[in-house]
Structure 1
């Protein structure tokens, strides 16, 4: 009798299972249907309730309680990069992670201290341009292809150490070694141009497309081919692509100009666009302002520009805007 009493204590009803797991009755039914929970009695309708062994429920509960740490998706969102980049970080040993049985499948979890260490290293990394490699062989979102085939790929991640992640038109993710060993080559050469002396920049913020053949990537290809890295900036910001280019008259095929002009117009942050037959014209909103300052002030501005890895004109404009905001807030000059 004692053995039978003990066995009865190890059996729970549907309502008790709901309370123990903290889920709805429908979820319990789904667990049974999916084979995640076994019934004590298959003819449970006689009792009017399903019954389960307590040890089975405890095992399921241990598998559905989230382990300590963050998933790959949570880590990617926190760091502002793609899931592919996090997988590459794990593969390359930049992040230590472990696989845990969670909700019935093997899931990667990353300790929070690992993420904090990576955030610290990113914060202290150089702010130099990092959307291309020094040898100009790889550039962010640039198009690559295998000659005499339909296979294509784009670089979807590129960091300051020149580590890359490429995505093929078949959805595969490749690192640099895999991309080159498969025979992928640049689909075009980036324009090698001297630094433009034209004033101002035209800025765009594009959503990141899912397809490597999306028109937005075609626009970025045109920037690379006709503007070059010396006269543009490209980086990821808030899960979007921020692009800044120098004023230019960009040649365009008549078949694409209407579609791409609409995309550019919708994603324009700063600057002006117009069209000419076979061209899209990009113009900045900047106008010349000439002032004279003490040489000591000029030296301070030059040093600030040097510290922030930018030009003296760009940093002067930023300082001027900061001063204007301060004046508008107080409506007076601070002596």
Structure 2
């Protein structure tokens, strides 16, 4: 904190600047709080003498407690739910997510308690669908196709099947180990991938790779690179009989540049089926093919679309997109 305490009659007092730092507010806001009688300096005219107000520390601490954020903002909840803030506002308006409007730092804002967000994630159909990620095992933090190593023999292996906590690990020697017995056989992850923030941009860039014939295929380290850069929050990996589908949120990845990963970039360009891969001098830009289409509808038609979308557990945007795709397919 800037400066030393000012002591008057053996009592430590705070300056305007020190109060602003403690409350994480601007100095003009402190003057606003004084005018609104939310903060009381010991001398109303002190600024004329010492160029600052003086405040009792206990008064400032009391106000700090009142200003403490009473929950999560709609923006913070949107990041947790991996949706746009306007979607959170819609959940609140429908009564699906409990929130309270409170005065905070001079503004009336919606706040949501952490436990309400947890309950929403557990019960809301959209969140249940979103939470299902068969390529990621949350309890262990392990991913499908992730590299593992035997701590005693240093033999490498790879998690080749993973669903609801069960699966298989294939080793270099051809052994197949049940996923939940991996550690009993001394196999552990070579790397722990850190969680990353949600990317709220719309759409996905989609790649489709043929199923590799060996666990040493370069396709697997490429997928691990995305785990490292984006974590499970911003990708989807699906293993089919004939191919592996990788869906990635629009992003810029510094780790993927022409100097260090030319082969990997070529793989991505060769196997992209939706979106675009754009090379930059300092990394790789991945962009979806989503574009905004603005239309005007009557209120009755809009409400009808909302109801139809709700019955299919879709947002209105998802439902309208589905209708347009179906109609466009009929005329191909």
In which range does the TM-score fall when normalised by the shorter chain?
0.5 to 0.7
* 136-145 or 239-248, which deviates more: 136-145
- Separation in 1, partners of 2:219, 2:306: 40
The alpha-carbon distance between structure 1 residues 169 and 315, as it changes in their structure 2 partners (threshold 3 A), is farther
User: Which residue number corresponds to residue 319 of structure 1?
Assistant: 323
Judge conservation of contact 1:152–1:169 (CA < 8 Å) in 2: yes
Residues 122-164 of structure 1, C-alpha deviations (whole Å, 9 max, x = no match): xxxx8933111232533211122235863221111112x3211
Cα RMSD (Å): 2.5
Structure 1 or 2, whichever has the larger Rg, is 1
TM-score (norm 2): 0.54
The answer on 1:242 being equivalent to 2:245 is: yes
Match for residue 277 of structure 2? 273
For residue 161 of structure 2, the aligned residue among 152, 157, 161 is 157
Task: Map 1:7-22 to 2 at 5 A.
Answer: none
Q: How many residues align?
A: 198
Q: Where do 5+ consecutive residues of structure 1 fail to align?
A: 1-125, 330-335
After superposition, where does 1:117-128 map in structure 2 within 5 Å? 128=132
1:144 aligned residue: 148
Q: In 2, are the aligned partners of 1:157 and 1:165 still within 8 Å (CA)?
A: yes
Q: Deviations over 1:220-254 (max 9, x none)?
A: 00111111212111112242101111011122365
Structure 2: distance between partners of 1:303 and 1:136:
36
Q: Which residue of 1 aligns with 2:312?
A: 304
Structure 1 residues 255 and 170, CA gap change in structure 2 (3 angstroms) = farther
- In structure 1, C-alpha distance between the alignment counterparts of 2:178 and 2:311, rounded to whole Å: 38
Identify unmatched segments of 5+ residues in structure 2: 1-128
What is aligned with 1:174?
A: 177
Aligned twin of 1:287: 291
Superposed, 1:27-42 pairs within 5 Å as none
Aligned partners of 1:145 and 1:153 also within 8 Å:
yes
Return the alpha-carbon distance in structure 1 between the equivalents of residues 232 and 316 of structure 2: 19
Give the C-alpha shift of residue 317 in structure 1: 2.2
Tell whether the 8 Å contact from 1:191 to 1:225 is kept in structure 2 after alignment. yes
In 2: Cα distance, 1:180 partner to 1:316 partner: 48
Is 1:233 aligned to 2:241, yes or no? no
Structure 1 residues 134 and 299: alpha-carbon distance in aligned structure 2, compared to 1, 3 A threshold:
farther
Q: When the two structures are superposed, what TM-score results if normalisation uses the length of structure 1?
A: 0.53
SS at match of 1:305: coil
Say if 1:286 and 1:153 are closer, same or farther in 2 by CA, change over 3 A. Answer: same
Partner of 1:285, secondary structure, is coil
Partner of residue 261, structure 2: 257
Q: Distance in 2 between matches of 1:231 and 1:149?
A: 34
CA distance in 1, matches of 2:199, 2:310: 20
Contact 2:165–2:180 (8 Å) recurs in 1: no
- Is this contact kept in 2: 1:151–1:169, CA < 8 A? yes
